[in-house]
Amino acid sequence: MDLTYSTAEQSFRGRARQWLAEHVPGEPLPPPYTAEGVAAHRAWERQLHDAGYTALHWPREHGGGGAGLIEQALFGEEYVRAGAPVRLNRLALGMAGPTVMAFGTPEQRGRWLPGMLSCEQLWCQGFSEPDAGSDLAAVRTRAELDGDELVITGQKIWTSLSAFAQWMFAIVRTDPALRRHRGLTFVMVPMDSPGIELRPIRQLHGEPGFAEVFLTDVRVPVANVVGEIGEGWSVAMATLGFERGTGLGDHARFARDIDDLVELARRAGMADDPVVRDEVAARHVEVQQYRRHMQHVTTRLAAGGSIGPEASMGKLYWSEMEARIFETALNILGPLAELTPDAPLNLAAPELHRRYWHARASRIFAGTSEVQRNIVAERVLGLPREPRWTST
């Protein structure tokens, strides 16, 4: 593991830091689940785009930054350090875009990639269904071939950003005679198609932003299929692989959380409490371990290695660690100031409240901790596979 940075990398970091210092909005943007928030984030994304920072990880031929992994990680760190806004089109840049580059035709690349980069087109993900969560291969949304169109009927759920997205990348069942992983197709669906209806889902902490997407006889040209019809499972697995590999430099936000914990402990008058000190120190060590792990992964990838099922270890570790960080915040606050939005001590870290709730969901989305552990056990460690029950 090489933990030193070259002169070029250091100067890249310096430029990024300076650009961010000059451009990051002084006031937090409104949250990106309102029309106003989406507009504000789009404007920010446009600035990033003009400066060439939108998609450092994309190759230059597709309009990306063509940056190496180390630079991506450095930018990620600087981005968090600067307190810059959450990224708006992550599903496009991190998942749909790389999928189109890997499996799409030149025509498809030209058609979708520029809009992803400029954030003119926002993307949402149509994988989960009521009966297909962890068990993604149970997807039932049906797509029938009718001439040069697919006619799609079914239901997607837990669809973030769907109210504002122009496109959804989805997996649908094109051949009902085939079971499970076979007979699936990966297709891009315009969200303004006739037959699409959204029903918002409110989350337990009251934040909107999720919806169910109902599709009734939605007609989509076959030209929107990525990969071959019936080969959607391998395309979708590649998409999820891209997702699990994203977030280089994300560890920096956990380091910021530790700073917040320390500040919180001081303000709450708990900085001398031995139990609190032990807990905060333990969280700090965990974040540093995670940081080292990510540096290790980054340098290995930069040296031409690949990341496969090991990516599950990173997801499992950070999501569990994140939850512990906010448990510690609660323990520091104690009985007089719960982590409610109006808790006076939250002034130390106004984001703590939202992040605390979000951490509850982190262990569930993008593959539950249980699914990740299974992947580590079976595919990293080579333990025997859990007996499979095939659904009918």
Partner 1 sequence: MTTYEPLEQVVTAIMADHCPPEVVAAAEGSWSPQVWDRLAGADLTAVGVPEVAGGSGGDLADAAIVLRVVAAHAGPVPLGETLFPAAAGCVAAGFAMPAGPVTVACGPGLSVTRTGGNVVLDGTAPRVAWARVAERVLVVGGSPDGPELAALVDPARLTLANGDNLAGEPRDDLVVAGLRLPAGAVATVPRGTAAHLYRLGALARSVQIAGAVGAVLDLTVRYAGEREQFGRPIGRFQAVAHQVATLAGLAAVAGAAADAAVASAVRDSGAGPASTSDVALAVAAAKARTSAAAGPAARIAHQVHGAIGFTQEHRLHHLTRRLWSWREEYGAEQHWAAELGRAVITAGADELWPTITRI
Residues near partner 1, by CB under 8 A:
128, 131, 133-135, 138, 157-158, 201-204, 206, 210, 273, 275, 323, 327, 330-331, 333-336, 338-340, 342, 360-361, 363-365, 368-370, 373-374, 386, 388-392
Looking at the Cβ atoms of 153 and 369, the one nearer to partner 1 is 369
Asked if 286 is an active-site residue, the reply is no
Nearer to partner 1, 181 or 256 (CB): 181
| Measured distance CA(49)–CA(42) in Å, rounded | 10
Spatial contact of 124 and 91, defined as CB atoms under 8 Å apart: yes
Shortest Å, Cβ 360 to partner 1:
6
CB distance 196 to 167 below 8 Å: no
**Which candidate in 243, 279, 286, 322 is catalytic?**
243
How far are the Cα atoms of 106, 128, 153, 295 from residue 222, in angstroms, in the given order? 15, 22, 15, 42
Go through the chain and tell me how many residues it has. Answer: 392
Write down the least CB distance from residue 130 to partner 1, Å.
9
Shortest distance, CB of residue 85 to partner 1, whole angstroms?
Answer: 24
* CB 127 to partner 1: min, Å: 12
Q: Which is nearer to partner 1, 307 or 377 (CB)?
A: 377
Backbone angles phi, psi at 390, to 5 degrees: -90, 130
Tell me how far CA of residue 146 lies from CA of 155, 171, 220, 223, 235, in angstroms. 20, 18, 10, 13, 22
Amino acid at 213: V
Q: Quick one: 61 or 370, whose CB is closer to partner 1?
A: 370
Cα distances from 100 to residues 43, 109, 164, in angstroms, run 25, 6, 21
At its nearest, how many Å lie between partner 1 and the CB of residue 152?
22
Shorter beta-carbon distance to partner 1: residue 194 or 388: 388
CA atoms within 13 A on the CB side of 135: 11
- How far apart CA 4 and CA 9 sit, in angstroms, is 10
Annotated active-site positions, please? 243
